Structures are given as C-alpha cells and as structure tokens.
Amino acid sequence: MDEIEFYAAQQRRVYDDNATNRENAEALVGAGYDKIAVQAGNQAQFAMNEYFRRRPYGQVIDTNMPILDFGCGVGRMMEAFAKLGFSSIDGVDISERMLSFARESPHLANSRFWLTSGHDCGEAPQEHYELAYSFITMQHICMRQTRIDIMRSMHRCLRPGGVILLEFQCFPGVTAHRVPRNHATWSMNMTAEDTNSRADVWITPDQLGHVYDDLRLWFRDIQFQELDSGENYFAYSPDSIYQYPGTRFLLVASKGAGLADKYFNG
C-alpha cells in the first residue's frame, strides 16, 4: 500500500470507527454542530453568489441545477442548499458510516451519495454538475498529491463552465517554516496518525504560489477570497491546537473560461 492509499485508509478508519451514532457523527464534523449547521446557510448562499457571478448576464436561477458536495459528512451543507430551494444535490464522502446518516435526512430524499477512495469523487458522474464545493473538509487533507487528485476528479465531474469552491484554513501571520510540526504546509505530502486538527494543512502567505499552481492544473479564473476575522494573526498561543490565529480562505475557480467569457464578451 503506497502513502496515498495508506492515508486514505487511515482517514476512513477514523470516521467509520467513531461515527457510532448521529451525535458522534456530528461531533466529527465540528464542535458545536448546531451552530455550524446554521452557518451552512450563509456558506451555501455565498457559494451560489459566486456561481451566478460567473454566469452569463440574464441567466435565471435553475433550482434543478446539479450540485456536488465533496466531504458531505452527515449532509450539513447539502441540507442548506436544499433549504435554499435546490433539488439536485449529491454527496461524496470517505466514510460509509457518515453517508448512512446523510441518507436519513428528509431534506435529501432526491440526493445520490458516492463513496470516495479518498482521492476521487467515487462513482459521481462526469461532466454532470454545475457547482462542486467542499467546506470544512479539504483543510484536513495534509497530503498535497491527494488534494491535487481530488481537484482533478472534481474537475471531471463539472460541466464546461462549472464552478468549484474550496474552503481552507489561512494563517496570515506566519510563514511555512513556522507551521507547527503536527500540521502541514501546502507544499508537503504528509501522512498523519489521525485527522481533524492533528495534521491540518495551513495556507500561509508564502505558499500562495503553490496553491495557485495546483488549482491552475485544472481550473481557470482563479479567485482567492480571505474572510478576515480581524484578529491579531501574529499572536502566539503555544498550548493551543492552532498556535497562531487563523481565518478562512475560499478558493473559487471555473472549468474553462466562465468568468473571462462573461467579463470580455458579455
């Protein structure tokens, strides 16, 4: 078993072993699940705004447009899109146990679910989706090649002109050499003994070129959106999981020249 397969197996084991009931599965998504489930509505709205900003002028909202959630977990973000009125939302996750809870949601009765090998979108159909996104997922994947493989697979699932949106942690106050040892810089291929904050990937200012290079392999019209929380990003807390304050970083791009075509040609 090579490192990529080993890392995927380790991630699957963590989720399958610990998602013994709905409460435990929600805890694996993040602390304070009720709060982040509410936040999902804002995140879904942001994703749709980014999608329609890249569409031709005058295009109406199609609530039947197919949407793909990579790392869907128990369906938190999928439910948020359903509550916005969208009816064709599919999910991909590495854990069959997590998917089993998502399938129970009455909001997702029309959804399909796919099991990923850890570095692809499973059996999700190719060139089918208008929007593919991943929130609070890929930031936990500390192996660079795995992230590249996932982006390639998401690219294959998108229709021409489709939009990808990825969320990561960003640490503006540090450079790569100051990232703690139990975390990974963007350019590293690192395995971990656990997941979720044991080996998160940190985006630091000096690594932005690597981030761009990896997105540029598959996508165009790349946008980096920092959600500045206004903290002192140079503060240091040695006993914290995240020794330096961070913020959220959203990466948005198109399959093909969606935004450029709109900008230059109308």
> pLDDT per residue over 161-212, tens digit each?
999 999 998 999 999 999 988 889 999 998 876 655 567 899 999 999 999 9
Report, as an integer, the average pLDDT of 139-165: 95
Angle at 117 between CA 43 and CA 75, to 5 degrees: 30
Report, as an integer, the average pLDDT of 45-65: 89
User: In this predicted structure, what is the pLDDT of residue 265?
Assistant: 66
Question: HSE-up of 63 (CA within 13 Å, CB side)?
Answer: 7
User: In this predicted structure, what is the pLDDT of residue 212?
Assistant: 97
pLDDT in tens, 75-97: 999 999 999 999 999 999 999 99
| 149 membership: H or E segment, kind and range | helix 144-157
Cβ(222)–Cβ(235) under 8 Å?
A: no
Q: What percent of the chain has pLDDT over 70?
A: 93
Report, as an integer, the average pLDDT of 241-254: 90
CATH topology of domain 3-265: Rossmann fold (3.40.50)
User: In this predicted structure, what is the pLDDT of residue 39?
Assistant: 92
pLDDT in tens, 25-44: 999 888 889 999 999 999 99
Tokens (6 digits) for 173: 């106050």
Going by their DSSP bridges, the two strands 184-185 and 220-227 should be labelled as unpaired
> 46 by DSSP, 3-state: which?
helix
Average pLDDT, the chain: 91
User: Does pLDDT of 262 surpass 60?
Assistant: yes
Band the pLDDT of 109: cuts 50, 70, 90: very high
